[in-house]
Structure 1
Amino acid sequence: MASFDQNSNATLQGIARHINCLTEDNRNTRKKALEGIRKDTLDRNPSLQVSELTHILSEIIKPLLKAFSDPVEKCRSLAISTVKDYCKVIEKPVRFLPYIMPVLVQRLGQQDITEPSEELRLLLVEFCSDIVEFSGKDIHIFLDDFIKILQRTLIDAYPEVKKESCRCSSAIAKSVPEYFHMQSETLIKPLLMSITHQHSKVRTLVIQTIGDVIQYGNGKAVDTIVSHFAQRLFDDSPAVRKAVVTVTGHWLLDLPDRYSFHHKLMPLLLTGISDTQPEIQEVADSLWYDVGLKFEKENEKDFKDKLDFEKEAPSHYPPNVERPNLGCRVLVNRNLSKIVNGLMRDIVDWVAPTRLKSASLLYVLLLNAEDYITQHMTPLISGMNKACADQEVQVVKDVQRSAELVGYFVEPEVWWKLVQGNIKSTQSYTSLMILANIMKGTERSKLKPYLSDICCTLANPDICLSITTPLQQQLLKCMGTMMEVGQTDVRDVGQIIFNVLITVIALKQTESTAEEAHTLLGKLSEVEGFSTKDELFRKHTKPLINSFEDSYIMWNTHTPERLVLDTLLIESGPIVGELLDEVMAILVPCLDPKKDAEMRVKFFSLLSQLLMNAKETLDSQGKFGDISVIVVRDIVIPNMVWQAGRIASAIRTSAVSCMWALLQSGVLDKEKMQPVVEDLITQLKTSMDSDNKNTRLVSCRVMTRLLELMNSSLDQDNLYNFYPELLKRLDDSSDEIRIVVSKTFLAYLECFEGKYKVDQYRLHLESIYKGLLVHLDDPDAKIQNSILEVLKEAGKFSPQMLITEIEGVKHKHRTNRYCEELIKTFKSS
């Protein structure tokens, strides 16, 4: 002991001058004094004993602490480091805290922090952390002082000070929780002020500190914290999001009053399960599993039977998904009512990230809730219906996944009433999207009783006749899902599905929609056991046509059913030939001249299209020829009658075009045409003089084909008087028409079969020759050649008359070549 006193006293005597110099005005003197004190005590070689250092510190502590306020930063730094290092080596440094703590509070815990240096503030806070470490439980005496300091340093501008303050706060909370909980709430506000700091490491540490402060302090602050933690789930830094998930998970496991906050903390943890980072997903999933297991153990008596007789996962359960344990499911079930309404608001929030997180959370919640979803179907269906219209693709995908879970866990009796109500009231594509995905998750046997009702709802004109692409696409998805899930069960509603698919093709706005509908028609054919498309159409075409019998009389150009019939007849191919009576029963009335003009144009286009390939459509059974004359008499001729106006002109063009297609089809023969040919020729004469070039052109072609078909069976007296119409067309403004008319002339001449009554109709023949010779001098060589062929044929009736006419005009022609050729031809004959 004597030796101890001697050494420590000797040391004290040695540094006495240094201690005295601490009060000098000269900064260098004070600095050297502090360096000397450290050199002669802490850094002395050989080292002093711990007991000696403790005795020395008791003597020099006050002047050293006074140096904490030295004007010179270096002096303050030396003083702080010296006292800090002394506390690390001496025995029971707690005894000096009554001296140290007031100084620390004075430097760090004032309204305006006294210490201006960032580095020294960090050093002082690190000193605080050391004090907490070596003090242990004894720190509670100075808890007020630490709280004052941390309230200021947690919001310090220097990030390193913030981080060290967080570490210190956590250490205090863990050291004296029994005292800390009374003042823990005072640290929440400064911590929250730093939770949005620009440095992710600061944000991460703040979140972890909040976790400790709440865990070992007063849990009431959770209410304040939750919204801030929720915002951090949108953080760009994975470390920050992971911290939120980890802290929340540990609260759900160990927070003393966690049962009061289950409904607020669970969404935070479950959101992590759908995070973009696999690491965060794993952490969240593992913590959630542990939370469920612990909840089971804590409430073992409450659901002992469920634990003892826990069934295996249901046979109809989402594939590739691990079923949450019983504790997780019960936890969600007990708290879902407190979560679902707020979640449905967030899922349509104006901020996109909020909607994304909410949609992903919805899926996880429903997976855990299972059949308990049934009690919350109204807000769920309503919210999902709105969310399906989101511009964010991922939101829509997650909502669709959630809707599929509804199909797995909720009885169709429940969900169909709500979904059907939405479909009928909104008639929007989102309600169909929900339906398609719910059906996707529904068990086949449970869906079967509702197939008819679902199909009838979708076939409602308000839905089925929509021309909006999104609705059409979702309508097709509903049909596709129904066939995928129902398989052969859909045979009972195959007609309705067929009707809907044909309607979508008819009203399509994009080619991709039509392609999808055609694909589904093929799928329907497979489901119904047909090997070919024709078999499918043979079964369903007639019922669909018959469904129009009460409405077709009122159709106009804008009636959707007209487009459906149009598409049906085109798609049906050879089946049309088996249903001629049904088809004609609609076409004839709809092409009545009294009907809407624009609609008639559309129907003529359809009829022409069918006639262009008659062998594969209308005449597939070889029966169309028997009724083809009806088309001419009741459809074509009445619509060729001249009326003023552009629409009337378009109808005449369509009627003539239809007649051309009919003649080209080969179903008409001389015998069938005989009763109507004269009326048809009468109308064709008028059409050949139409203002519309296309009408004139097609009329000339029809006339040519008609003359070739009927030939000598035509009324000869009328035939002799027909030539002026042909000569008139040779003066047409269109060279194309003039060339076609030359062919008509040839067909006209063939009708006489070389027996032209020259003596009786000499003047007519002279007019023909003169008219043709005028055009033999045409500037266009093609027309000259065409007329040359006509004259060669016409000259056979009276060669000498033709030669005489040629001799009278050949001097007027640009070239005599054609005239000489004709004279030579007929002189040699």
Structure 2
Amino acid sequence: AASPGQAGEIRLLLPPGPREGLRGASPARAGQGRAGQGCARRPRGRASPGRRGGTRPLAGLRRPLPGAVVQEVFAAHLLRPLARCLAGDAAERCRELALQLLRHGLSHGDRPAEALPVLLPALAQRLCPLRGCEPCEELRLGLLQLLSLLLRRCGASMAPYLSEVTHILQTTLLDDYAEVRRESCRCAVACAEAMPEHFHMQSESLIKPLMQTISHQHYRVRVDVIQATGAVIQFGNGKSMDDVLSHLAQRFFDEIPKVRQAVTTVIGEWLLHLRDRYSYFYKLIPLLLSGFTDEIPENTELAWSYWEKTGLQWEKENEDDLKDKIDFSVAPSHYPKGVTRPGLGCRELVSRNLSKILPGLCHDITDWVESTRIKASQLLYTLLLHAEDHITQHMELLLRTLYRACMDEESEVVRNVSLLSAELIGTFVNPKVSLRLITSAFEKTPVPSYVMILTAVIRGSPKEILKPHLTDLGNALSKAEICRRSEEVFYKEQLLCCVQALIEVCQEDCKEISLQLTKVLVTVMAIPCSQHLKEKVEETMCSLAEVQQLDGFLYLYKQHIIQLMEWVSVSHNCWTCYSPELLQLDVIATHSGPVIGEALHDFILILKTCLQPNKDPQMRLKLFTLLSQLLQKANETVNSQGQFLSYLETVIKDMLAPNLQWHAGRTAAAIRTTAVSCLWALIHCEMLSPKEILEVEGMLMPQMIASLDEDSKMARLMACRIVDVFFKVCGRQFDSDKLIKTYPEVLKRLDDASPDVRLAAAHTLTNCFKCLKDNDMKSLMQNNIRFLYQELLVHLDDQDQNIQNAVLEALKEGSILYPEMLVREIEVVVHKHRTPVYCNQLLHHIQSPKESVL
């Protein structure tokens, strides 16, 4: 038991306020024992004798004592007993009070280093698991706070105990209690700062536990670990740098801004103060620059601040080497708008380390983790912005990476690569180098990614620098193996974007490659794709016409129509339905409107060659469809110059007639149908005069009669209509033999399965009767007329009312020829009809003229 005097001294060492970090103990209970530890527990609520009479007389002495006095009392009488209590007492309360007394004594003593031989073994015993680790979390925290106090007060005197300290920290850095881990990190910082000359010998031993803790679930622990890592590397062994950089890089993806801020601070401090920082610039620069794209503005500003300081410091340290660049450093006239140019030191640091940074960064851009690819693509832009024209020597590696990255499924990566980084290539790299590399690549293997990068490079290039290379660009894009490479919509979209970029950048200079760009646009429009893409192509054509001061895209066609027709017709002798030129011809012919009439000779020549019966049937189908479409608006397309009729004989004899001949097979039938449709479009457009229609009838009437019996409903319908026009326009020129061959075939169509064909046949027979009004013709064909009456009266009872009305009109027209004969025929069949209404109407019509005459 302590003497009264000793008890008073002990009381003087107690702090006046509550003890921070100790669990549930108040100063008033400092002298209390615990049940079962040799001290009787007092009843609750009764004041202790010492409290009544022992402490009040000393209350006035609660003021700071001189450090020498504290040191003498503490070292001589208290240190060892308290250390033994701390290390081996079974009562948690005793260990707790001993810890507080030790902290107080060490805080106020003059020579705390004298306590190290006694305290360090006790701390190691309570904090290391092999020596009976302290079970209480709060006490472990207090012990570490005591260790931290020793490190701060003793400084270099702790050097002989460095191995014990690091051994303790190796354990506590992995403690289950988060606050213990945080305090361990602070101890590590204090240890590094206290013994900078010796710390490097043991620093490596702390790296592994720090890196195991750096991903702790509590963000405050992560922040403290990052700060501790900074100090351990700063004052320790640089060999550990490789072990920590990957872990720090991962913390840039941390969702907590303060964690990312801590990493930025540590990296920035290393770049400024690390002893061997020149050896690690290429590893540290990418990490700091990654902070430029942080979503928190404060973190971005912090990264910029450290980077500017680093650049200025490096610039000052290497002033002699940079003298010329400092004096003559001028920003390029075409520097990206809205972007602040980094300082000379920053640019030089990146340029000199780019060869070491770029390979690893290019690997990260194609990493399987999405967030890594995004961060790497953002960093690439920043690096290229600093490197400027030094990019040139890394073009091959850079382009290979960009080609892969711009096909990334993550849009943010594509934007950073194809819209930002690739544009910087156009800004800083001579087009003679960049364009040659890119065009040679996609000429060998045309893929969308090559065109995407080329587009971005063009957008980033200045107009005046790009002008000498326009012809080569236009020729490359318009090559068949490039623009016709694929019908893939995405590939065509990228070609379109490339043309748009050229027009936007070069403006009026595009006039010298207007034909090549038009070829590309025609090819893009030729693929079977969405209407949206076709509208974009048309808008681009308008833009190309506008920069040439033309009124619209039709004038663009007018300017190049002859060259375009020559372009597509080079190999027309061997076209098939799969030939891309066929689709291009379709676009030129339909999209150019009246301009196609100016190249009619070339157009007809292509059709004449490709519509021969020995050519690919599917191709002929497509061409007949195209011709039919044009003939529906002939005066606005093929006949816009009034020259189509001069090719009428060629169209009839060399195109239509051969393809109307009957051949077995469904494909041949489809060709005949399209040919008949084409003929109907030619006749229906009202471009032909009666004389020209008579010429057509003379050449094609047998084929039309044969077409009335085709399997295709459309062919039969078109044939009926064409024969109807022939009867209407040329009927009086028909002889009896021709009529006798024609009308039975038309009459058969009244039994057709299609109501439309039956209706067309009835109208055709109406005009057939008009052809027989001549007395001589009527006499020669009296029996044929009787047969017509009989057959038509049968169909007058058709189930379709529209057919009945059409047949009635035909009979009314035919009644003029032999009315009495028709009346007799009506009387024979009227009782057989379901209703006599139509027969009565016909009789009334026949008899009405006689009544009017009377």
TM-score by structure 1 length? 0.94
Q: Please, which moves more after superposition, 668-677 or 115-124?
A: 668-677
1:212-251, aligned counterparts within 5 Å?
Answer: 212-251=231-270
Q: From 656, 659, 669, give the equivalent of 2:689.
A: 669
Match of 2:101 in 1: 82
Distance change (3 Å), C-alpha of 1:714 and 1:41 = farther
1:332-731, aligned counterparts within 5 Å?
Answer: 332-400=350-418, 401-465=420-484, 466-731=486-751
Contact kept? 1:31, 1:74, Cα under 8 Å? no
Q: Distance in 2 between matches of 1:685 and 1:84?
A: 119
Give CA-to-partner distance per residue, 1:791-819, whole Å, 9 cap, x none. 11111111111112222222222222322
Q: Cα offset for 1:62? A: 1.8
Q: Cα offset for 1:754? A: 4.7
Gaps in structure 1 of 5+ consecutive residues: 1-5, 16-20
Q: Distance in 2 between matches of 1:169 and 1:31?
A: 42
Distance change (3 Å), C-alpha of 1:10 and 1:65 = closer
Contact kept? 1:387, 1:395, Cα under 8 Å? yes
Distance change (3 Å), C-alpha of 1:87 and 1:514 = same
Distance change (3 Å), C-alpha of 1:96 and 1:22 = farther
Q: Please, which moves more after superposition, 713-722 or 55-64?
A: 713-722
Q: Distance in 2 between matches of 1:110 and 1:818?
A: 116
Counterpart amino acid of residue 464 in structure 1: C
Distance change (3 Å), C-alpha of 1:31 and 1:570 = farther
Secondary structure in 2 aligned to 1:621? coil
1:191-202, aligned counterparts within 5 Å?
Answer: 191-202=210-221
Counterpart amino acid of residue 56 in structure 1: V
Contact kept? 2:71, 2:109, Cα under 8 Å? yes
Give CA-to-partner distance per residue, 1:736-789, whole Å, 9 cap, x none. 211111111112222234546333222111111111111112222222211111
Counterpart amino acid of residue 279 in structure 1: E
Q: Cα offset for 1:25? A: 9.4
Match of 2:172 in 1: 153
Q: Cα offset for 1:419? A: 0.8
Q: Cα offset for 1:320? A: 0.7
Match of 2:45 in 1: none
Match of 2:24 in 1: none
Gaps in structure 2 of 5+ consecutive residues: 13-30, 43-47, 850-854
Q: Cα offset for 1:732? A: 1.4
Q: Distance in 1 between matches of 2:57 and 2:625?
A: 108
Match of 2:73 in 1: 56
Q: Distance in 2 between matches of 1:37 and 1:585?
A: 126
Q: From 739, 742, 747, give the equivalent of 2:767.
A: 747
Counterpart amino acid of residue 214 in structure 1: I
Q: Cα offset for 1:30? A: 9.5
Q: Please, which moves more after superposition, 464-473 or 710-719?
A: 710-719
Q: Distance in 2 between matches of 1:152 and 1:596?
A: 84
TM-score by structure 2 length? 0.91
Q: Cα offset for 1:96? A: 2.4
Counterpart amino acid of residue 29 in structure 1: C
Q: Please, which moves more after superposition, 431-440 or 172-181?
A: 172-181
Match of 2:827 in 1: 807
Secondary structure in 1 aligned to 2:623? helix
Counterpart amino acid of residue 208 in structure 1: Q
Q: Distance in 1 between matches of 2:619 and 2:559?
A: 28
Secondary structure in 2 aligned to 1:181? helix
Counterpart amino acid of residue 73 in structure 2: I
Q: Distance in 2 between matches of 1:175 and 1:91?
A: 18
Distance change (3 Å), C-alpha of 1:36 and 1:335 = farther
Contact kept? 2:33, 2:41, Cα under 8 Å? no
Give CA-to-partner distance per residue, 1:32-89, whole Å, 9 cap, x none. 9xx9999979996233634554443231222222111221222211221222122223
Match of 2:21 in 1: none
Secondary structure in 2 aligned to 1:45? helix
Q: Cα offset for 1:331? A: 0.6
Q: Distance in 1 between matches of 2:757 and 2:11?
A: 131
Secondary structure in 2 aligned to 1:547? helix
Distance change (3 Å), C-alpha of 1:73 and 1:754 = farther
1:13-412, aligned counterparts within 5 Å?
Answer: 26-27=36-37, 29=39, 45-47=59-61, 49-50=65-66, 52-57=69-74, 58-68=76-86, 69-109=88-128, 111=130, 114-311=133-330, 313-400=331-418, 401-412=420-431
Contact kept? 1:249, 1:284, Cα under 8 Å? yes
Q: Distance in 1 between matches of 2:175 and 2:730?
A: 107
Contact kept? 1:556, 1:596, Cα under 8 Å? yes
Q: Distance in 1 between matches of 2:56 and 2:200?
A: 38
Q: Distance in 2 between matches of 1:332 and 1:343?
A: 13
Q: Cα offset for 1:595? A: 1.2
Give CA-to-partner distance per residue, 1:221-269, whole Å, 9 cap, x none. 2122212212222222222222112111111111111001001111111
Secondary structure in 1 aligned to 2:779? coil
Give CA-to-partner distance per residue, 1:618-676, whole Å, 9 cap, x none. 12122223323432222222211111111111111111111111111111112223333
Q: Distance in 1 between matches of 2:57 and 2:701?
A: 129
Contact kept? 2:366, 2:404, Cα under 8 Å? yes
Contact kept? 2:796, 2:808, Cα under 8 Å? yes
Q: Distance in 1 between matches of 2:10 and 2:202?
A: 45
Q: Distance in 1 between matches of 2:69 and 2:571?
A: 113
Give CA-to-partner distance per residue, 1:177-212, whole Å, 9 cap, x none. 123233222222221121121222111110111111
Q: Distance in 1 between matches of 2:530 and 2:130?
A: 69
Counterpart amino acid of residue 408 in structure 1: T
Q: Cα offset for 1:548? A: 2.6
Counterpart amino acid of residue 414 in structure 2: V
Q: Distance in 2 between matches of 1:13 and 1:783?
A: 127
Q: Please, which moves more after superposition, 292-301 or 184-193?
A: 184-193
Counterpart amino acid of residue 115 in structure 2: F
Contact kept? 1:472, 1:513, Cα under 8 Å? no
Match of 2:22 in 1: none
Secondary structure in 1 aligned to 2:133? coil
Q: Cα offset for 1:596? A: 1.0
Distance change (3 Å), C-alpha of 1:505 and 1:113 = farther
Counterpart amino acid of residue 27 in structure 1: Q
Distance change (3 Å), C-alpha of 1:821 and 1:182 = closer
Secondary structure in 1 aligned to 2:677? helix
1:733-772, aligned counterparts within 5 Å?
Answer: 733-755=753-775, 757-772=777-792
Distance change (3 Å), C-alpha of 1:157 and 1:10 = closer
Contact kept? 2:830, 2:839, Cα under 8 Å? yes
Contact kept? 1:23, 1:30, Cα under 8 Å? yes
Give CA-to-partner distance per residue, 1:101-128, whole Å, 9 cap, x none. 2211111145466111111100100111
Distance change (3 Å), C-alpha of 1:583 and 1:133 = same
